[in-house]
């Protein structure tokens, strides 16, 4: 089983880095979608389903926190886990992200392992890139 990811960051370079980290971490990505700000991300979601969103906070047009607040008010989108990756690191700002419903918060600068572990924790993917659900299915077949 593979998953769809939406990366939201106004930096093309940072989107490329995050995409590369996901790829080299062994996760099976079906579709990697990108958006330059929160508004673009909402447009993408109107046409595509994603399993996880990785988003910056400080972006033009619509910030990551505003996008997060809108997603969590929407019945369709509120179950999608959102990982915030941001330079915004004050205790209050991190608390605000979690109170709005963020599934994780990674402070920039970060090392690839931090993102890999957070994705593993949130979408339940094993170190070998195998979904935990798949493993359970496999063991059932063995019996």
Partner 1 sequence: MIRKILQNSIFEVLEKMFFVFLEPLEGRNQGYRWAVSISFSGDVNGKLTAYFDNEISSMMVQNMLSVSEIEVTGKLQEDCMKEAVNMISGDFLRNFDSSRVFDLSLPIVDADADGLLADEKDEENKVVLTFDSGCGKLGVVLRLS
Question: Which residues here bind partner 1, judged by CB under 8 A?
Answer: 10-14, 16-17, 20, 58, 60, 86-93, 107-111
Query: Can you name the residues that pair with 11 across neighbouring β-strands?
Result: none
Closer residue to partner 1 (CB): 25 or 86: 86
Three-state DSSP state, 124: coil
Closer residue to partner 1 (CB): 11 or 31: 11
Closer residue to partner 1 (CB): 14 or 32: 14
| Sequence-distant (≥ 6) Cβ neighbours of residue 110 within 8 angstroms | 85
Closer residue to partner 1 (CB): 16 or 138: 16
Kindly list the distances between the CA atom of residue 13 and the CA atoms of 7, 32, 58, 105, in Å, as whole numbers in the listed order: 12, 15, 15, 20
Shortest distance in whole angstroms from residue 115 CB to partner 1? 12
Shortest distance in whole angstroms from residue 86 CB to partner 1? 7
Shortest distance in whole angstroms from residue 6 CB to partner 1? 19
Distance CA 36, CA 136 (A): 37
């Amino acid at each position: 089983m593979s998953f769809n990811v939406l990366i939201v960051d106004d930096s093309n370079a940072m989107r490329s880095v995050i995409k590369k980290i996901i790829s080299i971490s062994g996760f099976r990505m079906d579709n990697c979608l990108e958006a330059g700000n929160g508004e673009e991300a909402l447009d993408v979601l109107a046409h595509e389903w994603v399993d996880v969103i990785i988003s910056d906070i400080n972006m033009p047009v619509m910030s990551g926190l505003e996008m997060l607040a809108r997603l969590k008010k929407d019945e369709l989108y509120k179950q999608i886990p959102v990982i915030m990756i941001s330079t915004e690191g004050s205790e209050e700002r991190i608390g605000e992200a979690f109170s709005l419903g963020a599934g994780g918060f990674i402070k920039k600068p970060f090392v690839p392992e931090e993102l890999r572990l957070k994705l593993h924790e949130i979408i339940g993917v094993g170190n070998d890139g195998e979904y935990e659900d798949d493993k359970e299915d496999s063991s059932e077949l063995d019996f």
